[in-house]
Amino acid sequence: METFQAVLNTPWDVVILDEMFATAQGAMALKIREKFDSKLATFATTDFSSQFSIYRGFSRNPVTSPNYYTKGYDMMNYDVTSFAGRLSTIRDLVYEQVLFLININALFSQYYINIASNAWLKRAGEVLDVYTSYESIFEASHFTFTDFPSRYGHPSPHGHDLIYVGEHCQKSKQLGPELKAFVDDPPSKGTIYIAFGSIVVSAFFEVINSFNEYRFIFSYGGPEVSVVKPHVKILRWAPQNDILNHKKTVLFFTHGGLKSVKEGVCSSTPMLFLPFFADQPRNALFARDLGIAELIYKKFNRQFLDHVVDPLDYGSQWVDRLRRITDSQSMYYKNRGRLLSWISFLYIDILFAVFVSSVQLLRNVRAHESLSQ
């Protein structure tokens, strides 16, 4: 509680919060802004959801890219030219908006991960006596920094207030003596690195035990496993980046989280995906489409890193700009589309006015013809 109060009572210049799970931190950020006029920004650990892109006014077409909360493995065969596929994506968009507006996640638990809805945000805000919703968070925040690479996935609209900082590679280090001796074992044809946390079944170990011509490093946090052969090394924590950059690593077997995908790209290691939930199936789909999984596209590493300015330095510059920006200046970074309702954004009101005017014009013409006769 002391730490909590210390954070709330510190006059921060800048507050950056995770946009996806913003329940408590969203309320805290808005309270700090209310007390000290701190500058706010959000940080996206994966690609924008359809709903978040609406809050930013990015006008993203929901049918061109499947919803990663709802599609799951279905997206692997998603066809944008299929009417049924596009219709289901619009359905998913409606469901997602409903989930953000009211707390009915339990009704759709078989389809959706348990995302933080506006109902929970409002409850957190009530504790701190500050109105909290996703709309108020995005309206109060000046920018969104995203770890999602700008060149990964389907092309989509973005604005000046979306700052890409994810296209950078961490330098690798030499492996420790024990791991180096294991990986460099002369009889080995190469190292296969597997990272699944604790989501593993016994069948995994049965399979890798039979491939004794390779060396397997398994990053595993589940129950202790005793039945493994000498060519398999199980680690609670593994220096993943260093292993992937080793010259004898020939395959990276992963669930497809964004961090793992980026490290696989940076190390130019062939990847095999077994996605489970959230953005993992979508990341796997993009990897396949880009040719960095199944079909290897060796030039993507170069494209990933091809920037005039390093994305980390670019992000740092924008954080400094956020510290200095005024509320009146921030309006020039935000898309005006965020202020429009769906009726206005889709020109339904304009079309309706044109329709009414056309009907009235036809009536006047007919009335004039009747008088002429």
**71-89 tens-digit pLDDT:** 555 555 667 778 887 787 7
Q: Evaluate whether residue 12 is within a structural domain.
A: yes
Residues 41 and 164 in one domain: yes
Residues 198 and 234 in one domain: yes
The pLDDT, as a whole number, for residue 241 is 95
Domain count, the chain: 2
Predicted structure pTM score: 0.68
Could you tell me the CA-to-CA distances from 69 to 77, 82, 139 in Å, in that order? Answer: 16, 20, 24
* pLDDT band for position 68 (cuts 50, 70, 90): low
The pLDDT, as a whole number, for residue 311 is 83
Residues 316 and 298 in one domain: no
Domain residue limits at 270: 177-302
Closest CA to 100 of 79, 69, 71, 74: 69
**225-236 tens-digit pLDDT:** 777 899 999 898
Query: Cβ distance 208 to 201 under 8 Å?
Result: no
Residues 248 and 285 in one domain: yes
Closest CA to 264 of 281, 275, 274, 250: 250
Calculate mean pLDDT across residues 108-123: 55
Residues 283 and 139 in one domain: no
Residues 163 and 259 in one domain: no
Residues 231 and 320 in one domain: no
The pLDDT, as a whole number, for residue 65 is 65
Separation between Cα atoms, residue 187 and residue 177, nearest integer Å: 18
For residue 140, pLDDT beyond 80: yes
**320-356 tens-digit pLDDT:** 888 888 877 777 778 777 777 878 877 888 889 889 9
> Which tokens sit at 196?
């699944």
